[in-house]
C-alpha cells in the first residue's frame, strides 16, 4: 500500500485500532471497534468519520453559480449564502459523472465537495468546461482535514466544543464556527451520508488532528468505511460507481428531484433528460429486502421467475432491520413497491420484495 495517499489522521486512526485498507487511491480505516458497534453508535449516539480523502474545490470569480449552472441540472439559484445543495454532474447523454454538494459562500465564491475516486477527473472536466469563463478553480482542502460528526448526539457534542448554539442551522445550512480551544474558525455544514442528523467540518491540518483527538477523548466513537457504507445503504443514499455512473441518468436513479427542467438554462445533458421525460425511463432503481439471513451483494443477479432482470448495485446486512437489503435497477414494470422478485446468491434463489426507500428513517 506504499503508493496510496494518506490523510492527516492516518497515524491517529491507526492508534485508535483502525484497520487500514485501500480505498479510491487512499489508505483508510475500514473499521475500528467493529462495523455493527460503529453503526449502532451513529444510530443511537454519535460517531466521527475521517472523510479527508474527499475533494473540496473552490470556484472564484464573477458569478460562479451562473457558470456552474450550465454543468448541473439543479437550479443553483435556489440556494443563497449560508446554504448548500446536493446535485450531479452530467455528460451529454444525461449520464452521471459524479455527485457533489455545492456550497454558496457568498462574495462570488462557491465550494464543491466531490468524491475521492472522481477528484482528478472531475477537476480536469470542470476546468475544461469553465475555460474562458473567468472562474478559477483551486483546492480548498489542500492538506487539511474533513470530518463527519454524525448521530443524534452530534449537535450536543459540537456545541459543547464550540460554545455556540447550532439549533438554528438547518439541514444543508453552513456557516463558519469558532472552536475556541483550537483557536480557529472552521466551516461546518449540516450534512452527512448516514441518514442521521450531523455535521461535516473542514479544518486546517493541525486543528483537524486536535479536534479528532478531542472528540475521541470525549467518548465519540471513531467509525470506518464499513459503517459508513452500511449506514448510507440503510438510508438508501447512492454510492457513485455502484448505484450511479455515466450509464445511469438521475431520472432512473430516483434523483428526479435534482432535475429542474423549468429552469431555462441549457445545461449539459438537458436534451437527453427531456427526451427521457417524454418517453419514460426504461428502468428504475429499487430497494430490495430479502427474507431470512440472505445478504445481497454488488453485482448479484436480480431475478423475476427464472429470468435475470437486473443486478444488485449495492447490498449488505442492515443492523437496524436485521435483514439483507439492496439497491438495484430493474425494468420499470417491476419497480412497483410490493413486487416479488429474487436475488441469486451462490447459485440459489432467495426471495426479495421491492420496498419503499429509504429502508431506515431516523425517528422524528
At 147-180, the pLDDT tens digits run: 999 999 999 999 999 999 999 999 999 999 999 9
Q: Between 199 and 364, name the one with better pLDDT.
A: 199
- Rounded to whole angstroms, the Cα distance separating 224 from 243 reads 20
Q: What is the DSSP letter of 5?
A: B
Residue 1: is its pLDDT beyond 80?
no
- Domains parsed from the chain with CATH numbers: 10-49+142-234 (3.30.1360.120), 56-139 (3.30.70.1400), 282-364 (2.40.30.110)
pTM for the full model? 0.96
> Could you give the angle at which helices 205-217 and 154-162 cross, rounded to 10 degrees?
120
* 98-129: burial string, b at 16+ Cβ within 10 Å, e else: bbbbbbbbeeebbbbbbbbbbbeebbebbeeb
Mean pLDDT on 224-247: 98
Share of the chain above pLDDT 70, in %: 99
How distant, in Å, are the alpha carbons of 53, 111, 115, 198 from that of 151? 21, 25, 22, 6
Count CA atoms within 13 Å of residue 118 on its CB side: 22
pLDDT of residue 2: 60
DSSP secondary structure of 176-241: EEEETTTTEEEEEES--SSSS-EEEEEE-HHHHHHHHHHHHHTTPEEE-HHHHHHHHHHTT---BT
- Rounded to whole angstroms, the Cα distance separating 17 from 338 reads 43
- Rounded to whole angstroms, the Cα distance separating 362 from 170 reads 16
pLDDT of residue 364: 77
pLDDT of residue 363: 87
Mean pLDDT on 98-108: 97
Residue 28: is its pLDDT beyond 70?
yes
Residue 332: is its pLDDT beyond 70?
yes
Mean pLDDT on 18-45: 98
pLDDT of residue 4: 96
CA 87 remoteness from chain centre: 11
Q: Is 36 exposed, middle or buried (0-12, 13-18, 19+ CB in 10 A)?
A: middle
- Rounded to whole angstroms, the Cα distance separating 156 from 160 reads 6
Q: Which residues pair with 307 in a beta bridge?
A: 304
Mean pLDDT on 191-207: 98
Element (H, E) at 81: none
Long-range contacts of 241-247 (CB under 8 A, 24+ apart): 241/117, 242/298, 242/313, 242/314, 242/327, 243/285, 243/313, 243/314, 243/327, 244/88, 244/96, 244/99, 245/95, 245/96, 246/91, 246/93, 246/95, 246/96, 246/97, 247/95
pLDDT digits (tens, 9 = 90+) for 277-330: 999 999 999 999 999 999 999 999 999 999 999 999 999 999 999 999 999 999
**Mean pLDDT over all residues of the chain?**
97
For 170, other C-beta atoms within 10 Å of its C-beta total 10
Amino acid at each position: 500500500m506504499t503508493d496510496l495517499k494518506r490523510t492527516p489522521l492516518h497515524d491517529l486512526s491507526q492508534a485508535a485500532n483502525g484497520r487500514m485498507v485501500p480505498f479510491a487511491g487512499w489508505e483508510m480505516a475500514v473499521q475500528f471497534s467493529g462495523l455493527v458497534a460503529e453503526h449502532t453508535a451513529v444510530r443511537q449516539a454519535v460517531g466521527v468519520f475521517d472523510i479527508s480523502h474527499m475533494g473540496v474545490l473552490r470556484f472564484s470569480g464573477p458569478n460562479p453559480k451562473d457558470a456552474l449552472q450550465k454543468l448541473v441540472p439543479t437550479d443553483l439559484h435556489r440556494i443563497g449564502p449560508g446554504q448548500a445543495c446536493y446535485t450531479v454532474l452530467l455528460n451529454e447523454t444525461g449520464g452521471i459523472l459524479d455527485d457533489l454538494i455545492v456550497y454558496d459562500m457568498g462574495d462570488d465564491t462557491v465550494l464543491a465537495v466531490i468524491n475521492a475516486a472522481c477528484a482528478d477527473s472531475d477537476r480536469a472536466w470542470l476546468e475544461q468546461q469553465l475555460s474562458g469563463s473567468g472562474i478559477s478553480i483551486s483546492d480548498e482542502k489542500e492538506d487539511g482535514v474533513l470530518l463527519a460528526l454524525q448521530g443524534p448526539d452530534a449537535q450536543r457534542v459540537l456545541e459543547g466544543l464550540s460554545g455556540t448554539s447550532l439549533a438554528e442551522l438547518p439541514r444543508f445550512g453552513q456557516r463558519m464556527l469558532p472552536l475556541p480551544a483550537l483557536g480557529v474558525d472552521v466551516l461546518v455544514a449540516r450534512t452527512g451520508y448516514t441518514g442521521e442528523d450531523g455535521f461535516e467540518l473542514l479544518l486546517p491540518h493541525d486543528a483537524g488532528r486536535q479536534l479528532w483527538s478531542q472528540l475521541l477523548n470525549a467518548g465519540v466513537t471513531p467509525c470506518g468505511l464499513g459503517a459508513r457504507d452500511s449506514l448510507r445503504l440503510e438510508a438508501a443514499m447512492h454510492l457513485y460507481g455502484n448505484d450511479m455512473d455515466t450509464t445511469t441518468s438521475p431520472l432512473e436513479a430516483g434523483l428526479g428531484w435534482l432535475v429542474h427542467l423549468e429552469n431555462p438554462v441549457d445545461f449539459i445533458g438537458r436534451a437527453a433528460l427531456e427526451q427521457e421525460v417524454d418517453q419514460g425511463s426504461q428502468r428504475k432503481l429499487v430497494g430490495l429486502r430479502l427474507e431470512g439471513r440472505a445478504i445481497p451483494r454488488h453485482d448479484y443477479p436480480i431475478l423475476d421467475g427464472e429470468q435475470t432482470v437486473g443486478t444488485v448495485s449495492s447490498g449488505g446486512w442492515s443492523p437496524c432491520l436485521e435483514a439483507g437489503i439492496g439497491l438495484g435497477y430493474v425494468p420499470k414494470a417491476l419497480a412497483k413497491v410490493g413486487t416479488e422478485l429474487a436475488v441469486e446468491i451462490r447459485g440459489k434463489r432467495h426471495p426479495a420484495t421491492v420496498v419503499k426507500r429509504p429502508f431506515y428513517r431516523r425517528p422524528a
